[in-house]
Structure 1
Amino acid sequence: MRKQIIYTVSAEGRDHGKVFQLTEMPADQAEKWAIRVLLALGRAGIDLPPGIEREGMAAMARVGLEALMRIDFHDAEPLLDEMMGCVRFQPNPADPKVVRALIADDIEEVATRVLLRREVFRLHTGF
C-alpha cells in the first residue's frame, strides 16, 4: 500500500488551515521520475556520485530537493507538475472523506506550493 499523509497548512496567509492529502507515486512512476531528475542533473553539468542512477528514489534522498532547483526549467517543469499530481485537496476539513483533485484556486500562496512539494519529496525519500 502506498504511503499517504495529511498536510495542514500552518503558515499564515490565504492557505492557512487548508488540508491536503499527499499520496506516494507507484513504484514504477517514482523510479522513472527519479531517473528523469538524475538525467536532467547530468545534462545541467552537475556532478553526481558514480552509480547513483541505479538507486532510483534513494538517489533523490542523497541528492536532495535542492538539486531539482538547479536544472533547466524545461526539464524541471514536468517533474514539478508530476509532484503536484501526488497532492489532492480536502475542501472541508470537518469531512475528511471528501478529497478531490486540485484545481488552480485551491492553493493561493506560492509558498504553499513550495511546502507541498517539499512534503511530497519527503514522502518519497523518507525511508
Structure 2
Amino acid sequence: MARKEIDVSITDEGRDQGKVFHIKEMPAMQAEQWAMRALMAVARSGVDIGQAASGGMQALAYLGIEAITKVHFEDVKPLLDEMLDCVSVKPNLKNLAIVRPLMEEDIEEVQTLLQLRKEVLNLHLGFSNAADQSKSTLGTSASNSSNTPISQDPSVRFSQSRPAKPQR
C-alpha cells in the first residue's frame, strides 16, 4: 500500500493565499526514528514523559504541547527541517499535476509554515480537530484508502474525515 498523501490549499489571507502544497507521509522507519528523536529531545529538556513513552506518536503530540517551552531549539531544528522534507509545492494552479520540491521562497508567511507542520503531524498521526479542517482544504490522492472519494478534477476538494483529538 502506498504512503498517505494530501494536498493543502492555503486559504488564510496573506502572501501565501491560494498556494497549494503537497504532503507525503514518511516511510515507517523514518517516522519511527523521527518520533524517537523527538521523544529523546523532550526527555532531555526535563519534561516528565511518563506514560507518553509507550503511547505512540499521538501521545508524543500531546507531550510536545507541554514541552514546547522547555526543549532546546538546537534539538528541535533538525526535526522541524525533516517535517518540511514531506512537503512539496504545486506551483501551477492551472496544472496541479506539476509537483516540485519545496524551496525556502515558496513559503512567505510564518502562519503557512505552522499550518504545514500541523498537517504533516496530522497526516502521520491520523487525527485532527474538525475546527482545524475549516482552515485548510485537504485534497485526496490515489494513495488514500479506497473508501475515500477521489476526483480526477483538481478543482474538486474533499475533506478527509478524521476522529477528533481526545480531550485532556
TM-score (norm: length of structure 2): 0.69
- Paired-residue identity, %: 48
* CA spacing shift, 1:15–1:68, aligned 2, 3 Å: farther
- CA RMSD, aligned part only? 1.6
Give the match for residue 42 of structure 1.
43
2-structure distance, mates of 1:115, 1:24: 16
* Structure (1 or 2) with the greater helix fraction: 1
Give the match for residue 79 of structure 1.
79
Give the match for residue 53 of structure 1.
53
Which digits, 9 at most, give the CA deviation of each residue in 1:48-87, with x for residues without a partner? 124x4345424334435x2563311000000000000010
* Alpha-carbon contact 2:3-2:24 (below 8 Å) kept: yes
TM-score (norm: length of structure 1): 0.90
Q: Which runs of 4+ in 1 moved over 4 A?
A: none
1-structure distance, mates of 2:66, 2:36: 13
Q: Name the amino acid aligned to 1:86.
A: C
2-structure distance, mates of 1:20, 1:103: 12
**Tell me, what secondary structure is at the counterpart of 2:16?**
coil
- Give the alignment of 1:1-127 within 5 angstroms: 1-50=2-51, 52-64=52-64, 66-67=65-66, 69-70=68-69, 71-126=71-126
* CA spacing shift, 1:67–1:79, aligned 2, 3 Å: farther
